């Protein structure tokens, strides 16, 4: 006679394994829609389960080369505070040359559910020209809500958008207590002709450490850091390639030794590609020169309590997103006019490549040569300041990076949706 654990396993696998095999055999014919359009959806944050449920009359494939339609979904922040989505449809194989581009802009008061529905509807509209050329057009029924009416659009805010947020956090233990506050205010007005942005960010952190808790020798050490940054930007569009603007930043930082710092930087930018193509490719060159006034909390390593400086900056940004993947490179350089050796050069990049069927690699990294830390506090540094990062440290360079390699194999089709037990995995 079998023992209970053995009997349980015997019954479990006797029931499950045949059923699983039958389920796979039964599901196999339905996993591929005969004669349906094969698409590759290149979308970073689409809800694929929802998309497959709402658009079941196509075949979703995992490899670009297997697709008859490649769909790229890109997004940019809109002046209203919403997001501007661009859907690029590119025909391949029998649909070669049958391309299209559609756009959809969300409003800041729309919920994620509404946005998901509207984005999926836009996908449906873009796919109709391809589905209409297949036998599955018989599965499609086109209708409208019936709520259409003529109305005049009146914007009483005149394109001004305001956003306020606050984020208090706390954590308490017997020997450690931490309070963190983050507050932000964003004001912007964006039109095709001008761009006006005001952004305020405030961070405050207080940590208390209790030593020898509950004894006569109990002591409490408190450390605080705070940062306030107000960034103002005004940009005027000059043409499809040129724009001019002014950046004015004000701030303070206990970690960076600024009691008050202000930066006024008139700038000009040239995009080699037209700004209208920004969702797909950019090569922008930005140059600025201006004034910086610093009032320090403590005397710096250069024996300065405050100083007025003049500086220049140069940024070169390249971004492109194609079927093979995407690449982004940002090169920045700056120096002070009174001493050209006080400079900084940074290179940051990200690269995502589909190498071949199922294999992709993502690489990101940055490197910086730093020789412009005029704000460093004079004097030695304590162990607490080092470990808790209460104070900026002198450094000549910074390097960071990472690589992710992904290989997926198996069926090229992934039409089936099964949300069961999606949240059952434990997190550690």
Q: Which domain holds residue 124?
A: 37-138
Whether 277 is in a domain gets the answer: no
Whether 106 is in a domain gets the answer: yes
Contact 307, 334 (CB under 8 A): no
Tokens 């233990």 -> residue: 173
The yes-or-no verdict on residue 179 having pLDDT over 50 is: yes
pLDDT one-digit tens code per residue, 348-397:
999 988 787 677 888 999 999 999 999 998 888 777 777 777 788 889 99
User: Across the chain, what does the average pLDDT equal?
Assistant: 83
Contact 333, 327 (CB under 8 A): no
- Predicted confidence at residue 415, as pLDDT, reads 56
Which CATH number do you get for residue 96? Answer: 3.30.160
Whether 112 is in a domain gets the answer: yes
C-alpha closest to that of 323 among 40, 84, 4, 54: 40
Whether 65 is in a domain gets the answer: yes
Whether 72 is in a domain gets the answer: yes
Model-wide pTM > 0.75: no
DSSP 3-state of 165: strand
Report how far residue 423's alpha carbon sits from residue 113's, in angstroms, rounded to the nearest whole number.
19
DSSP 3-state of 187: strand
114 C-beta neighbours (distance < 10 Å), count: 12
Mean pLDDT confidence for 160-184: 91
- Please name the residues in contact with 327: beta carbons below 8 A apart, sequence gap of 6 or more: 318, 319, 320, 349, 350, 351, 352
- Please name the residues in contact with 393: beta carbons below 8 A apart, sequence gap of 6 or more: 381, 386
Report how far residue 114's alpha carbon sits from residue 416's, in angstroms, rounded to the nearest whole number.
24
Whether 20 is in a domain gets the answer: no
Strands across the sheet with 59-60, in order?
A: 59-60, 38-42, 69-77, 83-91, 100-105
What tokens were used for 77? 């922040």
- Please name the residues in contact with 259: beta carbons below 8 A apart, sequence gap of 6 or more: 252, 295, 296, 297
Report how far residue 230's alpha carbon sits from residue 264's, in angstroms, rounded to the nearest whole number.
12
Whether 56 is in a domain gets the answer: yes
pLDDT one-digit tens code per residue, 191-229:
888 999 999 999 999 998 888 777 777 888 898 999 999
Report how far residue 153's alpha carbon sits from residue 155's, in angstroms, rounded to the nearest whole number.
7
DSSP 3-state of 36: coil
Whether 144 is in a domain gets the answer: no
pLDDT one-digit tens code per residue, 285-344:
999 999 999 999 999 999 999 999 999 999 999 998 877 888 999 999 999 999 999 999
pLDDT one-digit tens code per residue, 61-100:
888 888 899 999 888 877 767 788 889 999 998 999 899 9
Encode 293-328: b = buried (16+ Cβ within 10 Å), e = exposed: ebebbeebeeeeeeeebebbbbbebbbbbeeebbbb
CA gyration radius, the chain? 29
Lowest-pLDDT range, 6-10, 19-23, 135-139, 182-186? 19-23
Q: Give the count of domains, the chain.
A: 1
């Amino acid at each position: 006679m079998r023992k209970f654990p053995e009997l349980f396993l015997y019954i479990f696998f006797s029931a499950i394994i045949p059923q699983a095999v039958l389920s796979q055999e039964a599901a196999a014919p339905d996993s591929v829609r005969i004669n349906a359009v094969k698409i590759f959806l290149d979308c970073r944050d689409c809800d694929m389960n929802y998309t497959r449920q709402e658009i079941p009359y196509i075949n979703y494939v995992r490899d670009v080369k297997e697709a008859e339609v490649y769909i790229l979904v890109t997004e940019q922040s809109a002046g209203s505070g919403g997001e501007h989505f661009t859907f690029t449809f590119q025909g391949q194989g029998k649909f070669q040359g049958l391309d299209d581009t559609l756009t959809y802009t969300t409003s800041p008061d729309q919920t994620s559910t509404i946005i998901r529905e509207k984005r999926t509807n836009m996908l449906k509209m873009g796919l109709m020209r391809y589905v209409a050329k297949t036998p599955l057009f018989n599965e499609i029924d086109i209708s409208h809500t019936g709520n259409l009416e003529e109305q005049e659009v009146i914007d009483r805010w005149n394109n001004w958008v305001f956003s306020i947020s606050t984020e208090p956090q706390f954590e308490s233990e017997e020997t450690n207590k931490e309070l963190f506050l983050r507050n932000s205010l964003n004001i912007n007005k964006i039109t095709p002709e001008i761009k006006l942005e005001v952004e305020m960010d405030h961070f405050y952190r207080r940590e208390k450490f209790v030593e020898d808790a509950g004894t006569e020798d109990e002591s409490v050490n408190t450390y605080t850091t705070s940062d306030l940054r107000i960034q103002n930007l005004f940009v005027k569009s000059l043409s499809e390639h040129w724009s001019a603007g002014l950046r004015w930043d004000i701030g303070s930082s206990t970690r960076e030794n600024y009691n008050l710092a202000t930066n006024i930087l008139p700038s000009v930018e040239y995009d080699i590609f037209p700004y209208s193509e920004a969702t797909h490719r950019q090569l922008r060159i930005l140059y600025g020169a201006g004034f910086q006034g610093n009032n320090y909390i403590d005397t710096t390593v250069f024996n300065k309590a405050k100083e007025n400086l003049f500086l220049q900056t140069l940024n070169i940004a390249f971004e492109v997103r194609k079927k093979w993947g995407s690449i982004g490179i940002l090169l920045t350089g700056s120096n002070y006019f009174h001493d050209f050796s006080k400079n900084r050069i940074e290179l940051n990049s990200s690269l995502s490549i589909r190498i071949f069927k199922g294999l992709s690699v993502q690489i990101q990294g940055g490197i910086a040569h730093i020789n412009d830390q005029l704000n460093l506090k004079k004097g030695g540094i304590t162990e607490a300041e080092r470990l808790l990062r209460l104070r900026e440290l002198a450094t000549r360079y910074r390097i960071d990076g990472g690589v992710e390699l992904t290989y997926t194999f198996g069926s090229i089709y992934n039409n089936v949706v099964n949300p069961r037990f999606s949240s059952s995995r434990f997190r550690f």
